[in-house]
Amino acid sequence: MVSTSTQPFGLLVIGSGPAGVHAAAAYVEAGGPGLVCLVSADPDEPYERPPLSKAVLAGEEPAEGSPILEDDSVWAQIDLRLGTHVDTLDTDRRRVRTSDGQELAYERLILATGSQPSALPGADPGARVFTLRSLEHGRRLLDAVEDSRSVVVVGSGFIGCEAAASLAGRGLQTTLVTPEPAPQVARLGDWVGARIAEWLEAVGVELRPGVEVEGVERPATVRLDDGSSIEADLVLAAVGVTQSQALLTESGLLIEDGHLVVDEELRTSNPHVWAAGDVARAQHAVLGRALSVEHWGDAITMGQLAGSNAAAQGPGGTGTSGRWSDPPGFWSEIGGHTMKYSAWGDGFEETRVVEHPEGAFTVWYADAVGEVVGVLTHQCDEDYERGGELLVRRASLSEALGAATTGESS
Ligand SMILES: Cc1cc2nc3c(=O)[nH]c(=O)nc-3n(C[C@H](O)[C@H](O)[C@H](O)COP(=O)(O)OP(=O)(O)OC[C@H]3O[C@@H](n4cnc5c(N)ncnc54)[C@H](O)[C@@H]3O)c2cc1C
């Protein structure tokens, strides 16, 4: 039986990740009209995901979840419904239907449904293959790790590299399998790939580059396309994320590459609906084209913007709308080495490495016309901050290198 809430919520948010939580909080803080409800399929109180592949998996922090909001007083003004999946969205009637049979009406809707981890193709049903996206996934993985001595991590993206270093650091015999010649070469270039490989090997990770996984046989034997196989106690699949929810594909909202298309103010193709975080393909106000980014800090920025923009809209609206203009970026920690990366995220033609004393470095990325399109730093926060400014100013590589006086460029 479907039960319908008669009074529409002033704002309904779907998703309790950083985008959803900050959207709801920003709306409340901006004094947006009506009641606010946040619905999430995740049963846990909103928590930070980044530690899951780092300190939590390494056994240095408990798998309890650090809260997303520092000041939690705003929750008193939000109707938080956890463990509740939103199954369907009717944008004409401005209603959603949830897994517990509720129909919720809204004036404004913010979709912040994030990403879902991709499955590892070719894995036998019942094989000990894990993914890592949520706290619940983290707890399941940690339970399995307790009675395991060996693990194969598939995928050399940031989560794969971080998780492999964490697992090796707690004493598991860890093999990282990747089709790339070295971790993250396609995204970050050969030089950085070699550094990450060194860091991983230094904590005991065995690298198997240049191979694809063909299948996983029960319980956890990984078959590779070079004819070899690796027997392990468990497999962690870190092979990227997808956007494939029926909720979105059947919503009638404009979608590109699975992402919801939004403008600079994070409005979807429907005037009552905004989207923020991993799920959005957002027009960037400085770059002048659309980007899909999957970073924690950007999800916060976009969530805050969507929340305050929604508050400014419609009868009783407060404040003014803002545009998404920050350079995208994130931090990663691999075996105790922190990297900070800010980039438009759609490739580069040229890299310049600047090495600083004591192993610190900066890598500048430029496009075909010599414009800075990214910066990656290790122990050089000054360049990271400056890199963000140069990106936004669409500055040249020579300007970036002109100020790089502390190291050698190669
Ligand atoms: C292990 C791990 C480590 C990471 N480390 C870093 C890092 O160091 N730096 C960095 O920048 N990024 C990192 N990321 C990526 C970062 O966490 C994401 O970019 C960020 O969480 C995206 O936020 P979001 O709010 O858009 O979506 P999510 O955080 O994915 O939240 C989406 C929410 O929507 C809910 N939901 C989805 N569909 C429905 C539905 N139909 N009904 C109801 N609820 C629904 C989900 O349950 C979830 O609560 C990491 C990710 C993981 C998994």
Q: Whose CA is nearest to atom 27 of ligand 1?
A: 114
Task: Specify the pLDDT at position 321.
Answer: 85
Q: Does a cis peptide bond (omega within 30 degrees of 0) precede residue 219?
A: yes
User: How far does residue 17's CA lie from ligand 1's centre (Å)?
Assistant: 5
Q: Return the percentage of the chain with pLDDT > 90, whole number.
A: 92
Rounded CA-CA distance 340/330 in Å is: 6
User: How far does residue 279's CA lie from ligand 1's centre (Å)?
Assistant: 9
Ligand 1 pocket member 332 (CB < 6 A): yes
Where residue 244 falls among pLDDT bands split at 50, 70, 90? confident
Ligand 1 pocket member 330 (CB < 6 A): yes
User: How far does residue 135's CA lie from ligand 1's centre (Å)?
Assistant: 11
User: How far does residue 125's CA lie from ligand 1's centre (Å)?
Assistant: 26
Nearest Cα to Cα of residue 99 among 78, 81, 77, 119: 81
Rounded CA-CA distance 155/239 in Å is: 5
Ligand 1 pocket member 166 (CB < 6 A): no
Q: Whose CA is nearest to atom 33 of ligand 1?
A: 15
By three-state DSSP, how is residue 130 classified?
strand
Ligand 1 pocket member 49 (CB < 6 A): yes
pLDDT one-digit tens code per residue, 260-269: 999 999 999 9
This prediction has a pTM of: 0.96
User: How far does residue 115's CA lie from ligand 1's centre (Å)?
Assistant: 6
Angle at 154 between CA 166 and CA 116, to 5 degrees: 90
Rounded CA-CA distance 356/408 in Å is: 7
Task: Specify the pLDDT at position 410.
Answer: 43
One-letter identity of residue 316 = G
What number is the average pLDDT over the span 56-75? 94
Ligand 1 pocket member 94 (CB < 6 A): no
What are the Cα distances from residue 248, in Å, to 196, 243, 256, 371?
36, 9, 11, 36
pLDDT one-digit tens code per residue, 71-127: 889 999 999 999 999 999 999 999 999 999 999 999 999 999 999 999 999 999 999
Residues with Cβ within 8 Å of 366's Cβ and at least 6 positions away in sequence, in order, are 348, 349, 350, 351, 352, 372, 373, 396, 397
User: How far does residue 297's CA lie from ligand 1's centre (Å)?
Assistant: 11
- Helices in 97-134 by DSSP H: which ranges? none
Ligand 1 pocket member 86 (CB < 6 A): yes
Task: Specify the pLDDT at position 409.
Answer: 44
pLDDT score of 407 more than 80: no
pLDDT one-digit tens code per residue, 361-371: 999 999 999 99
DSSP state of 185: H
Ligand 1 pocket member 205 (CB < 6 A): no
pLDDT one-digit tens code per residue, 195-235: 999 999 999 999 999 999 999 999 999 999 999 999 999 99
Ligand 1 pocket member 298 (CB < 6 A): no
User: How far does residue 114's CA lie from ligand 1's centre (Å)?
Assistant: 5
What number is the average pLDDT over the span 386-404? 91
- Dihedral sign, CA of 182, 188, 191, 196? negative
Q: Whose CA is nearest to atom 50 of ligand 1?
A: 50
Could you tell which of 85, 278, 302 is best to mutate to test the pocket of ligand 1, judged by most ligand atoms within 8 Å of the CB? 278
- Write out the DSSP string of 72-99: GGGGGGEEEE-S--EEEEETTTTEEEET
